[in-house]
Structure 1
Amino acid sequence: MNLRLYDPFANMTFSEHACFLCGTIVNDTERLPVFPAWLQKRYGLAAKNLMLLDQSQIAFGEMTLPCCPGCQKTVGELEEKVLVANDNGLQGWQNLDEKSIFLWLAKIYYGITVTELKAERAPLIKPEHSVGENPKMLQKLQSLFMLLQALRVPVEFDDFTPASVFLVPLQRETTEPEFNYRDDITTMMFSLQLDDVLIVSHLLDNGFLKKALTPVLRAIEGEQLHPIQAAEFSARVYYAAYLFNLIPDYFVRSQKPGDTHLIYDTLVDDITGSIFNPWENDVYATALEKFWQPWHVSRPQILQNPDLPLSFLLTEEGTFRKLESWEIPV
């Protein structure tokens, strides 16, 4: 059993001829799509463009990673599980184990971030938040990649979950395939809408966001969210990620002869400080305004009551708000 881990960050080697997952030398044709082929086909993504931090654009279908045949087989097995889950809607995703969801999301996020790193070598416009020039960002990305090694090496996460993963049912008025994508590279946030399922995840928080948002999750449990409610839920999670203070560290437990898998343990870098910075409604309103752009809700409308920002998700008592009728304040 090969339990050797690979770390391209040791020498910052992101060669186009080294498998992204294990480092094996590959040829030009041995590539893995960042967004899986089944996803591109179902949602017609191949020719659609994604905007990078330097304002350049790249087609979803053009984003690939060098990948050896062995790792392609391993990733392909995960893709089959996710495809079956997606074909079964929300119930399929809920039945899929969280580790598989995390690894699937993390692979896509990592592929996008590597694409960003390559674009920074000759940027169209110098990005405001450069990934390659941010030591904390590189530290987080290296930690994420260590967790991603569980795709190719048998790994057990001992008594922790690397990510917070939220699965939210959506109201839909169409039967046509519907896909939406959003990320925030610097906070490790990632979200996808796949038809009537919204998947939102902080990929490196050891589940702290999910614990912090427990009251909201309890309020919406069993409910289908209107798109404006789903946007608000996403804004809450993304803003909470912005307030998150900790960077978890991961290490491999000492191995014994005959071990057939690795055991990962985790620590946080500063257990004496606050896990989250204080919630500030005016800053949250700025974030929420961005998520509510399709409905043209402005920040002043959100903050008509500064102590209780506008919410279409929850009542003043914190219970779920059913949107049988609603209006945006003038």
Structure 2
Amino acid sequence: MSDLTLYDPFERMQFTETNCFLCGTAISPALRTPVFGEWLQQKYNLKEKELLLLDKSVATFGDLTIPCCALCQTHYILPLEAEVEQAAAQGIAGLKGLEEQKLFQWVGKMYYGTLVTELIKEMNPFMEPQYAVSEDPKMLGRFGSFFQVLQSLRVPMVFSDFIPCSLFLLEVNALEDELPFEYQDELTSMAFSIKLGSVVMVCTLLDNGIIRRAMAKLYALTSGQQLHPIQVAEFKARVFYAAYIFNVVPEYFIRPVKPDDDRLVLDTLIDDIRNEIFNPWDMKAYAHMLEEMLKPWDIREQEILRNPAMPLSFLLDDKNQFQVLERFHK
């Protein structure tokens, strides 16, 4: 019989080195799981590479681990990592063949793992974080909702007619692609991207697929195309900016559980009566986001907004059709 009990660490802010991040079981501090799977670290030589954490401190990929009981590690974490590793070995076709819910769980585990690292640090009374996540009730509410659906990793769960995220898979043309791996996340907007060889996965983690529907036409234009890295950067900028102006937080409701049920069924509701789903699009703010993504090519905001009515695009031509770009010439 499946255990259908959900764990809520946010209720009592139970973020410690001695509670499993996924189920809350009291454990020895020695029991931990890597935020970024061992296979990922080995394949892309990440163990000693540095990354910027949510609080702007620096750690290595290998150092980033979170408390995890033996049961969750053996039954949930390792099987998921093995499935994604096998799918990733087959490139974009393999990852597209994996259930979206699995990819959401995998991406969500990495995002949540970096968040938990920050929350555990904030529970230390001697730490004075520059930006205390635990002191922002609105953000904690969003993270709590996110963790509720992330527990589908542990608790059998069916999402009724929705997936909690928007997920995009892009293929990169190898001609001018020099990065085998790249990782980016954004705390407040819950946007995430990771590059695995020739495949880039971009995800907004708590929007119930709304951003994917909003970007359906652009995503369809990229389908079957090999993108230049600068086109991938622009696509990421559009997704990350859409997540930035996304203005609602989905609520999730568990249907009443009957004695013979072996899974939870979740419904969702978005309050779009009191709030607009998206805040107004600000071209200057988008240009700033795009400038950040285009830093490797040294393209500045003034160049992006040379024509304010039609900002610089490497993805689309002047007729809003996909433009093939094999080499970039500034």
Query: So what's the TM-score if we normalise by structure 1?
Result: 0.94
Distance of 1:175 and 1:294 partners within structure 2:
12
Shift of 1:243: 1.0
Distance of 2:83 and 2:237 partners within structure 1:
29
Check 1:175–1:273 CA distance in 2 against 1; reply closer, same or farther (3 A cut): closer
Check 1:238–1:301 CA distance in 2 against 1; reply closer, same or farther (3 A cut): same
Secondary structure of 2:135 counterpart:
coil
For 1:184, the equivalent position in structure 2 comes to 186
For 1:49, the equivalent position in structure 2 comes to 50
Shift of 1:273: 2.8
For 1:18, the equivalent position in structure 2 comes to 19
| Residues 1-330 of structure 1 aligned to structure 2 (within 5 Å) | 1=1, 2-73=3-74, 74-120=76-122, 121=124, 126-127=130-131, 130-173=132-175, 178-324=180-326, 327-328=329-330
Check 1:306–1:176 CA distance in 2 against 1; reply closer, same or farther (3 A cut): closer
Distance of 1:195 and 1:173 partners within structure 2:
13
Shift of 1:232: 0.4
Equivalent residues of 2:177, 2:228 under 8 A apart: no
Letter in 2 for 1:252: I
Shift of 1:124: 7.3
Equivalent residues of 1:303, 1:309 under 8 A apart: yes
Q: Percent identity?
A: 47
Letter in 2 for 1:190: F
Shift of 1:256: 1.0
RMSD: 1.7
5+ residue gaps in structure 2? none
Shift of 1:166: 0.2
Shift of 1:64: 1.1
Secondary structure of 2:194 counterpart:
strand
Question: Which aligned runs of 4 or more in structure 1 are off by greater than 3 angstroms?
Answer: 118-125, 173-177, 269-272, 324-328
Letter in 1 for 2:147: F
Shift of 1:282: 1.5
Distance of 1:324 and 1:62 partners within structure 2:
37
Letter in 1 for 2:280: P
- Residues 70-102 of structure 1, C-alpha deviations (whole Å, 9 max, x = no match): 100111111111010011111110100100000
Equivalent residues of 2:257, 2:264 under 8 A apart: yes
Check 1:171–1:123 CA distance in 2 against 1; reply closer, same or farther (3 A cut): farther
| Larger CA deviation: 257-266 vs 274-283 | 274-283
Distance of 1:165 and 1:100 partners within structure 2:
11
- Residues 7-48 of structure 1, C-alpha deviations (whole Å, 9 max, x = no match): 111100112111111111211321111111100111111111
5+ residue gaps in structure 1? none
